[in-house]
Structure 1
Amino acid sequence: MVIYGVSFDMVGKQPIVLLKTVEGNKFLPIWIGHAEAAAILMKLQGAETPRPMTHDLLTEVVSELSAEVSKITVTELRENTFYALITLRAAAAEIEIDSRPSDALALAVRSNAPIFAADKVIEESGIEFEHEVEETDEVVEKFKEFLDQVSPEDFMTEG
């Protein structure tokens, strides 16, 4: 998946990161916090800060320990909350660390780590546009229309 953009829902003004499948027209909206949205947007836009932010610091710590963020995976949606794993590679070992998707994504944009989502998450929470979308403005407009009609509770699963 790739980070397609960060937007805000129209009702609660809550930030949403929009992930897109590399192939196809499926999008995965994930509601996130304001600080994490700022951390993701700042890095995507190439903004520099005078001092390291938390995600910059963590990226540097991982690097100094001779490790790397090898991937992040949005693993599940449970009780209206998304879960993610950060996979670190250190020497010959891989270490998986539980994370909020927003923090994992903020690390991914800093370390150029690939982003994945479990098939079940995409099936349950993904949005597919009927026709091929080429223009970013067109996707943003369709996504805003979707946001006008949706709430986080719409993504709750039964059982």
Structure 2
Amino acid sequence: MSADGFTRMSLYGINLDLFSSSPIVILKVEGENRYLPIWIGQPEARAILMKLQNTEFPRPLTHDLAANLITELGGTMERVTVTELKDSTFFATISIEIGGRIVEVDSRPSDAIALAVRSGAEIFASDEVIEEAAVVFEEGMEETSEEEVVEKFKEWMNRVSPEDFK
């Protein structure tokens, strides 16, 4: 874990919960075989996937608009942080540097991640959230093919539900 209580994460992917048909964004603890699954809404999953796939639209969508507003007002998205897990709900903040000071804005993790992929902001999670909700795979995923990793997540998702994180 980290010294300051927060660990750098990377966006590993988005999958679908087979029971609820809800999308799950999967964050990976950098340098470890620990993954943080967060159930999100369909629109936010689409927003994240569209940006990851470099899909262009003639007009900005909601998350593009928010990222543009931050930039046009002189701000820079520094990081997003998954801060808490309470009653099966994840919480996050967006850290924006503007005018020499850092402003923390409350957010859903899905919206924060959608903005992070647009701005290049780093993604973090609190060590407490990781301890409570991360999934650990014994063997190294880096040596495992992407298809095998997806299969392992599908197997795991067949056994778990959002209520398991209460």
- What is the TM-score with the length of structure 1 in the denominator? 0.96
1:126 aligned residue: 134
Return the alpha-carbon distance in structure 2 between the equivalents of residues 99 and 53 of structure 1.
Answer: 18
1:145 aligned residue: 155
Gap runs ≥5 in structure 2: 1-8
Deviation at residue 26 of structure 1 after TM alignment: 0.4
Gap runs ≥5 in structure 1: none
Q: Deviations over 1:22-47 (max 9, x none)?
A: 11110000000000000000001111
Q: Does residue 9 of the first structure (1) align with residue 17 of the second (2)?
A: yes
Cα RMSD, aligned residues only? 0.7
After TM superposition, the structure 1 = structure 2 runs for residues 2-151 of structure 1, keeping only pairs within 5 Å, are: 2-134=10-142, 135-151=145-161
Structure 1 outlier segments of 4+, above 4 Å:
none
Q: Secondary structure at the match of 1:71?
A: strand
Deviation at residue 85 of structure 1 after TM alignment: 0.3
Deviation at residue 50 of structure 1 after TM alignment: 2.0
Return the alpha-carbon distance in structure 2 between the equivalents of residues 17 and 141 of structure 1.
Answer: 16
Q: Secondary structure at the match of 1:132?
A: coil
Deviation at residue 138 of structure 1 after TM alignment: 1.8
Which letter does structure 1 place at the counterpart of 2:127? D
Q: Deviations over 1:34-80 (max 9, x none)?
A: 00000000001111112111000000000001101100000010011
Q: Secondary structure at the match of 1:143?
A: helix
Match of 2:164 among 130, 134, 154: 154
Q: Secondary structure at the match of 2:54?
A: coil
Deviation at residue 136 of structure 1 after TM alignment: 2.0
How many residue pairs match? The answer is 156
Return the alpha-carbon distance in structure 2 between the equivalents of residues 74 and 137 of structure 1.
Answer: 27
Return the alpha-carbon distance in structure 2 between the equivalents of residues 49 and 154 of structure 1.
Answer: 38
